[in-house]
Amino acid sequence: MSEIGRLAILMAFLCAVWSVGSIAWGLRAGLAGPLRSGRNALWAVCGLTLVAVIILVRALMAHDFTYRYVAEHTSLDLAPLYSAASLWAGQEGSLLLWLLILSTYGAAFLWLYRKRLDPFYDAVAMVVASVAIFFTYLLAFICSPFRILANPPADGQGLNPLLQDPGMMIHPPILYTGYVGFIIPFAFGIAVLLMNRTGTRWIEEVRRWTLFSWMFLGFGILLGARWAYIELGWGGYWGWDPVENASLMPWLVGTAFLHSVMIEQRRGMLKTWNVALIVLTFELSIFGTFLTRSGVLTSVHSFAESSIGAWFMAFIIGSGTLATALILYRKALLESENRLDAIVSREGSFLFNNVLFVALTFATFLGTTFPVLSEAVTGSKISVSAPFFNRVNVPIGLALLLLTGAGPILSWKRATASVLQRNFIIPTVAGLVATLLSLPLGVRGIYPIVTVFGSAFVLATVVMEFARGLQARKDVAASRGAMAIIDLVTKNKRRYGGYIIHVGVVMIFVGVLGSTVFQKEAHEPLRTGQSMKIGDYTLTLKGTEQKMERSAALTRAVVDVSQNGKSFGESRPSKAMYFKSQQPMTEVALHQTPGEDLYLILGGVNDDGTVTLQAYINPLVSLIWAGGLVMLFGTIFTLSDRMRLRREEKEAA
C-alpha cells in the first residue's frame, strides 16, 4: 500500500504542474480547452491527496510499523482515535494534512465558481495549483510519509503524551483550516494583478474567504489556548510560545485586512495596501508552518538539521518577491481615489488601527525570531519569552482596544466636532465610571485601568450603535421589542456581526485582565491530613493513590476542597509517567465556575513523603472561552449574510 500512497503523491505533483501549465496556456491563448483541463487537474490533486491520506491513516490505525512514520508516531498501546490523529503528530503527516486542506480549498473554489465563465477564476485556480506544486514536491521528493523501514520494530515509539488529549483531535485540523484558507484570498490577489483586473467585486469575494479562514484560525487559537490551560499545567493559557505566535501573526494581519477592506469597498481607497495585506497574511501562514516545522527556533544550528526548513525559506522568499514585484508592476492598476475630507474620520481610525495591527505583528515576529538573530550576531543564546511580549505587545494591544471603540462611532469622510461630542460623550463617561468602580476592587496600574476604561468604552459604543439602529428602525417600521432587535440585526448582518465580534473581544480582554491581575497562587508541601489555604478555599490532602492506565502510570493526590467551610468534594491532580516516552505529564484538577477557576497541580511526591501541591485561583478565565465563542458566533452571523444573498439570487433566477 505504501507504493500506492507514494504514487498518489507523485501523481498529485504531476497534476498540480499540469494544472498550472495548462491554465497558463489557456489564459495566454484564450482557449477554453486547456482551462478546463487545468481545472480538472486541480480536482485530481484533491482526489489523489485524499487517497494518500486514507492510506496513511489506515496504516496508522493498523499499527503497520513497516512505515517509518507509523513507527515514529504510534505504538500498540495507543487508542485508535489517537492513532488516527497521529496523522498530524509529525512533520510528514502535518504536511500531508496541509496539502489535503489546500487541495480541498481548491476543489471547493472550483465547485463554488463552476458557473462563472470569467477566466479570472481560472487564474485564481492556477495560483492555488502553484502552491500545491510546492507541497506535493516536498511530500514526493523531500519528506515522504510513505518511507518504509527495512527492519520494522515490534512496537512503535508512541505518540507524544502532550498530544494525547481530546482537544488535539480537533485543534490542529481547525487551525490548519484557518492557516491554509488564506490561500484563496492570496490567489485572488495575485490573479487580480496577473489579469490586470479592476473593479471591486473581487474584493467582496476575498473578504468572505478571508473571514472564513480568519474564523477558523481564531477558533483554532482559542482551542489551543484551552488545551494549554488544561494540558500543560502551568496555570495559564497563553505563553507567547513561538508556535502560538506563529498562529497569531496571520490572524492579526488578517484582522487588519478585514478592517481596511471596508475602506476599499466604501471609498475605493487603500487598494495597494489591501493586496499587500493579503499577500502578507498568506506568507505569514507559510512562515508559521516553517517556524513550527523547521526547528529553527530551537537553535540556529537545528535549521541545518531540518530537512524542509530551507525549502520553506526559499518558497517564502520566492513567492513574497514575486508578489511584491507584481504589486509594483501593476501599481497603476491599484491606484485609488484617495480623497478624504478630514483625518479625523472612520477611514483615519481604520488606517491607524491597521498600523497597530501590523506593529503588533511586527513586534511578535521580531520577538519570536530574535533569539536566532541575536545568536547569529552575538554568538550567545538569549530568551525572548512572555516577560518581553507582556511589556511590548500589551501597550500596543490596549491602544487597539481603544480604537476598537472609537472606529465605529466616527463618521465616514469627516467627523465634525458636534459628531465627536455626541458620539464620544457616553462611551467616555461609561469608561470613566467603570474605571472608578474598579478602583475599590483592587484595579491598579496603567494597563489594568486602560483595560477597564477601554472595555467599558467599547461596550458602550456597541450598545449605543444598537440603540441608534433600533431607533432608526422604529421610525420606519412598526416592529417593537425583541422583534425590532432581530429585525435590525438581520437586515445588516455584516455591521451587527462585527459589533458582536467586538463584544467577544472585550470579554477576552476582561478575562485576561481578571486572570492575570487577580490571579492567586499558593504552593506548599503537605503531609496527609494537612491543609493549605488559597483565597476562600481550603485544600486538605487526604492521601495519594497510584493507578495503572493503558499507556501510563498515574500518581494522584486526593485533595478535599472546601470554600468557606462548604465542601466541594475531592479533587485529584495527578502526574502521569508515560511508559514509552518516560515523560512525566501533569494532569490538572480544575473546579470551574463562571466567576473563577480553582486550578490544582500535583508538583510531585517528595523524598520526605510530603506532597507538593500547587494551586491557582484564576478569576474570570471563563470569560475568555465565552468571548471566543461570542466572536465565533459573530463571525458565523456575518458570513450568513452571504447565504441570504445566495438564496435571494437563486430565488430571483
Partner 1 sequence: MTASPSVRRAVLVLLAAAALALPSAARANESAAGTKVDPGRAITSQLICPCSCGEVLSGCTCETGISLKGYVDRELKAGKDRKAIEASLVAKYGEVILGAPKAKGFNLVVWVAPFVATLLGFGIATIILSRWVRRKNALAFAPAGAAADTHPDSDPALAERRARAEAELRELKE
**Whose Cβ is closer to partner 1: residue 47's or residue 584's?**
584
Q: How many residues bind partner 1 (CB under 8 A)?
A: 81
**Whose Cβ is closer to partner 1: residue 151's or residue 380's?**
380
Query: For residues 4 and 59, is the Cβ–Cβ distance under 8 A?
Result: no
Give the CB-side neighbour count of residue 494, counting CA atoms within 13 A.
Answer: 13
**Whose Cβ is closer to partner 1: residue 169's or residue 517's?**
517
Query: For residues 195 and 154, is the Cβ–Cβ distance under 8 A?
Result: no
For 113-146, b where at least 16 C-beta lie within 10 A, e where not — what string? beeeeebbbbbbbbbbbbbbbbbbbbbbeebbbb
**Whose Cβ is closer to partner 1: residue 127's or residue 503's?**
127
Establish if 449 lies at the interface with partner 1 (CB under 8 A). yes
**Whose Cβ is closer to partner 1: residue 198's or residue 593's?**
198
**Which DSSP helix (H) or strand (E) runs through 522?**
strand 520-526
Residue among 5, 38, 90, 119 that touches partner 1 (CB under 8 A): 119
**Whose Cβ is closer to partner 1: residue 442's or residue 481's?**
442
Q: Amino acid letter at 63?
A: H
Q: How far is the CB of 252 from partner 1 (least distance, A)?
A: 13
Establish if 269 lies at the interface with partner 1 (CB under 8 A). yes
Q: How far is the CB of 387 from partner 1 (least distance, A)?
A: 3
Establish if 441 lies at the interface with partner 1 (CB under 8 A). no
Q: At which residue does the C-alpha cell 421589542 appear?
A: 481
Query: For residues 190 and 326, is the Cβ–Cβ distance under 8 A?
Result: yes
What is the rounded CA–CA span in Å between residue 508 and residue 624? Answer: 4
**Which residue stretches of 477-536 are H helix?**
481-491, 493-517
DSSP structural state of residue 345: S
Give the strand pairing for 584-587 and 611-619: unpaired
E-assigned strands of 549-595?
552-563, 566-571, 574-578, 584-587, 589-592
Q: How far is the CB of 97 from partner 1 (least distance, A)?
A: 25
**Whose Cβ is closer to partner 1: residue 105's or residue 389's?**
389
Segment 17-76, which members bind partner 1 (CB under 8 A)?
30-33
Segment 509-538, which members bind partner 1 (CB under 8 A)?
516-519, 521, 523
Establish if 447 lies at the interface with partner 1 (CB under 8 A). yes
Segment 374-433, which members bind partner 1 (CB under 8 A)?
374, 377-378, 380-388, 390-392, 395-396
Segment 561-590, which members bind partner 1 (CB under 8 A)?
584, 586
What order do you get walking across the sheet with 589-592 strand by strand? 520-526, 611-619, 596-605, 589-592
Query: For residues 323 and 272, is the Cβ–Cβ distance under 8 A?
Result: no
| Segment contacting partner 1 by CB under 8 A, of 118-126, 138-146, 250-258, 618-626 | 118-126
What is the rounded CA–CA span in Å between residue 588 and residue 24? Answer: 55
Q: How far is the CB of 61 from partner 1 (least distance, A)?
A: 31
Q: How far is the CB of 221 from partner 1 (least distance, A)?
A: 19
**Which DSSP helix (H) or strand (E) runs through 478?**
none
349 phi, psi to nearest 5 deg: -65, -35
The answer for residues whose C-beta is within 8 angstroms of residue 478's C-beta and 6 or more apart is: none
Q: How far is the CB of 428 from partner 1 (least distance, A)?
A: 17
**Whose Cβ is closer to partner 1: residue 279's or residue 600's?**
600
Establish if 258 lies at the interface with partner 1 (CB under 8 A). no
Q: How far is the CB of 575 from partner 1 (least distance, A)?
A: 9
Query: For residues 81 and 167, is the Cβ–Cβ distance under 8 A?
Result: no
Segment 313-352, which members bind partner 1 (CB under 8 A)?
337-344, 347-348, 351-352
**Whose Cβ is closer to partner 1: residue 414's or residue 494's?**
414
Look at residue 531 and give its three-state secondary structure.
strand
Residue among 178, 236, 431, 454 that touches partner 1 (CB under 8 A): 236
